[in-house]
Amino acid sequence: MVSDVDSLFDVTREMLSDQIDSLNRDFSPAQIAFGLLNFEWIIEPEFAKVKDGAAIRSMQNKYNVGDDATLNIYVVSEINLVFNASDCGPPAQHDNVKNASTSGITENLEGGLLGVSSLPWSLVETGDADGWDNAVIIKAETLPRQPPENSFGKTATHEIGHWFGLFHTFDDECESHFGDFVVDTPDSAGPTQGCPIGRDSYPDRPGLDPIHNYMDYSSDHCIHEFTPGQTRRMHRMWDKFRNPLTRVEGLLPGAGRSLRVRCMQRCLVFEECEVVAVRRHRVPETCWCEYRTDLGDFAENLPCNFRKKRTAGGQL
């Protein structure tokens, strides 16, 4: 719990206990459970109102406990970060935010963000055995026992889904061959607001919009499920990046290593994606991966492009 001396919100231990109970109910079908090992009240105005990636890095460097398999959750009063989230193209690696009022191409920051999370492959990208990029941050108003519609504890569920390696269900909604890289989440043309039962933004594609999925932006009372494909992905990402017995320890050396490193940074994002060939192309920084899932072949020769975009708030 991160606060400042003038903090106006009142977080109780009952709220935190209810949050853990909510997480265990939400993740129980995925055979994932959480236990509260420690609670610390941190009085630091610099961290109570998160304003940039540097503050997040400093906070984690100073207060993170455990190893890569330990989930550190920070509860703060405000999250004011800047993200540029494109509606098209492969899912952005760090645009993982749950916002009460999100629209179109960029996140609407007028009311601030409700939560933000690191992603598991950041641990490999930074090269740190216990990388700083390993935490979930949520706004205090999202905890249970509060009146707003997003105060049933589901923001934490959403952000921890990212911590396990899930994307938004609406990621890359313009191109059905990318999506969120889980084949049993129907395509959706942008994030959901409220709980629009029967929403079908792509009538020509299978399934209604997954408005009840934890990885959409629907109101807390509307979301209640992960799909079997998302469950499989979370477990595989856990084994690949966080499980100390099975996780990736580094990138393999070889010919064209600089190109291979860039390829692996993208392809390791997706558990089902393995590098089958790396070759130079007219467009540098391009490789090919074969993308498969246990539900069948989703795409072959998937192009992985690594032109990184800079955001005003940095990468989280």
Q: Is 312 helix (H, G, I), strand (E, B) or coil?
A: coil
Domains and CATH numbers, the chain: 2-235 (3.40.390.10), 249-305 (no CATH)
Query: Which residues are paired to 213 by β-bridges?
Result: 225
What is the C-alpha separation between 48 and 261, in angstroms, rounded?
Answer: 36
Higher per-residue pLDDT: 161 or 91: 161
Is 159 among the catalytic positions?
Answer: yes
pLDDT 10s digits, 30-65: 999 999 888 888 888 888 888 887 888 888 889 999
Tell me whether residue 138 is exposed, middle or buried, using C-beta atoms within 10 angstroms of its C-beta: 0 to 12, 13 to 18, 19 or more: buried
Catalytic residue among 107, 125, 141, 159: 159
The pLDDT tens digits for 187-214 are 888 899 999 999 999 899 889 999 999 9
**pTM score, whole prediction:** 0.76
Cβ-proximal residues to 245 (8 Å cutoff; 6+ apart), any chain: none
283 phi/psi in degrees, rounded to 5: -95, 110
Asked if residue 265 lies in contact with residue 249, where contact means CB atoms within 8 angstroms, the answer is no
Q: What is the mean pLDDT of residues 258-287?
A: 45
187 with 203: CB under 8 angstroms?
A: no
Longest dimension (CA), the chain: 59
Cα distance between residue 315 and residue 82, in whole Å: 10
